[in-house]
Amino acid sequence: MNRAIVSDIPGTTRDTIEEVLNIDGILFRLIDTAGIRQHTQDAIESVGMERSLEKMKKCRPGYLSV
């Protein structure tokens, strides 16, 4: 399934992709977000990074993979 455009070019991911995983009745929400960098000149990438930070603020303790 092609749900997102991916590449190794910084700034490609803009939107979050979410999926719920059920393991023995325990629900896990997996969220793939835009990467977070110190600076960008791209206004759309900035919105993606803001959305990533908002998702991080709302989550309960979990696992963060960089």
Q: What is the DSSP secondary-structure string of 19-60?
A: EEEEETTEEEEEEE-----S--S-HHHHHHHHHHHHHHHHPP
**Per residue in 4-44, pLDDT tens?**
777 777 766 677 888 899 999 998 888 887 777 788 888 88
| pLDDT, tens only, 37-55 | 788 888 888 888 888 888 8
Mention every residue, 6+ apart, whose C-beta is less than 8 A from residue 29: 18, 19, 20, 21
17: left (phi over 0), alpha (psi -120 to 50) or beta: beta
